[in-house]
């Protein structure tokens, strides 16, 4: 998806910011895989509005290059930039604008399904990584579509997700064929809203690229179903599964 042709960047943080606890959760997960190897330079590939960039800089005390193909997304990221260790730059995963062997860690969040050429993107990741460094990917996968919380309310998203999301096996195949070894795969459950009322407000922000492909009538019908469920569910937290893949050069 070309985010610059949409209004998604404006509401992206309102729909995708799950609070400091979730952000810290992910820093802990990334840190557990980075181990004791020094991390001084990080590539936040597909950084979007920079949701993770400054947290990465702070957690690792590292320089972070946030690369994204969307001018609108980067504009949003720059408006909230506070950390001098972070810089944002226009670029694509298939042609990363960094030197060979120049980064100690690559962080990727929800971008694999946006790659135009996944194999080329994986090769570029390997090119810019130093020997022994890891590429960390958090993503949705085809195998887990039924578990994503909005699918039951927006059934029209299922065929879109089936057509869009990669299988876990395909992700591993792409990175391993580019010369990476798989360190681990994992599943992390994150809380994305304290209840379904708050979850509906997040979805209404228009930050999801799959929901943006629904017709207005299908989206409104799904929101109505979600609001009806919210009145019955009470203070039940909303969670979602995120698959993690860790690859080493």
DSSP 85-144: TEEEEE-BTTB-SS-TT-EEEEEEES-GGG-SSHHHHHHHHHHHEEEEEEEEEEE--GGG
Question: Per the domain annotation, does 211 fall within a domain?
Answer: no
In angstroms, the CA 105 to CA 125 distance is: 10
pLDDT tier at 73, thresholds 50, 70, 90: confident
Q: Which residue in this structure is represented by tokens 């949701």?
A: 51
- pLDDT value at position 208? 86
Question: Per the domain annotation, does 132 fall within a domain?
Answer: yes
Question: Per the domain annotation, does 100 fall within a domain?
Answer: yes
CA angle 39, 247, 169 (to 5 degrees): 155
Phi, psi of 74 (to 5 degrees): -65, -35
SS3 39: coil
Q: What is the CATH number of the domain that holds 188?
A: 3.40.50.150
Q: How many domains does the chain have?
A: 1
Q: The domain containing residue 83 runs over which residues?
A: 3-149+164-192+241-248
Q: Whole-angstrom distance between the N-terminal and C-terminal Cα of the chain?
A: 29
Identify any residues that bridge with 243 across adjacent strands, giving them in sequence order. Answer: 139, 187
Question: Per the domain annotation, does 31 fall within a domain?
Answer: yes
Question: Per the domain annotation, does 201 fall within a domain?
Answer: no
Q: Is the pLDDT of residue 209 over 60?
A: yes
Higher pLDDT, 11 or 213: 213
- pLDDT value at position 14? 60
CA torsion, ordered 193, 42, 133, 99, to nearest 10 deg: 140
Q: Is the pLDDT of residue 154 over 60?
A: yes
Question: Per the domain annotation, does 227 fall within a domain?
Answer: no
Q: Is the pLDDT of residue 181 over 70?
A: yes
Name the percent of the chain lying above pLDDT 90: 83
- pLDDT value at position 7? 59
Q: Which residues are within 8 A (CB) of 183 and not within 5 positions of it... i.e. 6 or more apart?
A: 33, 134, 246, 247, 248
Higher pLDDT, 113 or 5: 113
Q: Is the pLDDT of residue 22 over 70?
A: yes
- pLDDT value at position 5? 64
Count of Cβ atoms closer than 10 Å to residue 19 Cβ: 12
Do 66 and 109 meet the contact criterion of CB atoms below 8 Å apart? no
Q: Is the pLDDT of residue 61 over 80?
A: yes
Q: Is the pLDDT of residue 15 over 60?
A: no
Question: Per the domain annotation, does 105 fall within a domain?
Answer: yes
What's the rounded mean pLDDT across residues 87-108?
97
In angstroms, the CA 27 to CA 154 distance is: 31
- pLDDT value at position 82? 92
Question: Per the domain annotation, does 64 fall within a domain?
Answer: yes
- Strands (DSSP E) contained in the chain are 41-45, 63-68, 86-90, 103-109, 129-139, 181-193, 238-248
235 CB burial (10 A radius; 0-12, 13-18, 19+) = exposed
Higher pLDDT, 9 or 128: 128
Mean pLDDT of the chain: 92
pLDDT tier at 141, thresholds 50, 70, 90: very high
């Amino acid at each position: 998806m070309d985010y610059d042709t949409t209004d998604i960047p404006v509401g992206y943080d309102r729909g995708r910011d799950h609070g400091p606890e979730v952000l810290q959760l992910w820093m802990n997960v990334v840190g557990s895989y980075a181990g004791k190897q020094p991390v001084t330079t990080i590539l936040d590939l597909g950084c979007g509005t920079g949701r993770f960039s400054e947290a990465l800089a702070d957690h690792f005390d590292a320089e972070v290059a946030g690369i994204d193909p969307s001018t609108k997304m980067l504009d949003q990221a720059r408006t909230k930039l506070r950390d001098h260790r972070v810089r944002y730059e226009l670029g694509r995963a298939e042609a990363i604008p960094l030197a060979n062997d120049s980064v100690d860690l690559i962080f990727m969040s929800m971008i694999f399904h946006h790659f135009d050429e996944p194999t080329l993107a994986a090769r570029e990741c390997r090119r810019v990584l130093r020997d022994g460094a890891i590429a960390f990917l958090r993503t949705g996968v085809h195998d887990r579509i039924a578990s994503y919380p909005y699918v039951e309310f927006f059934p029209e998203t299922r065929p879109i997700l089936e057509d869009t999301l990669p299988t876990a096996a395909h992700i591993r195949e792409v990175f391993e064929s580019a010369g990476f070894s798989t360190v681990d795969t994992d599943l992390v459950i994150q809380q994305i809203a304290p209840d379904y009322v708050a979850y509906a407000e997040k979805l209404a922000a228009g930050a999801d690229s799959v929901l943006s492909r629904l017709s207005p009538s299908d989206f409104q019908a799904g929101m109505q179903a979600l609001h009806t469920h919210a009145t019955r569910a009470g203070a039940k937290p909303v969670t979602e599964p995120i698959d993690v893949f860790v690859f080493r050069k």
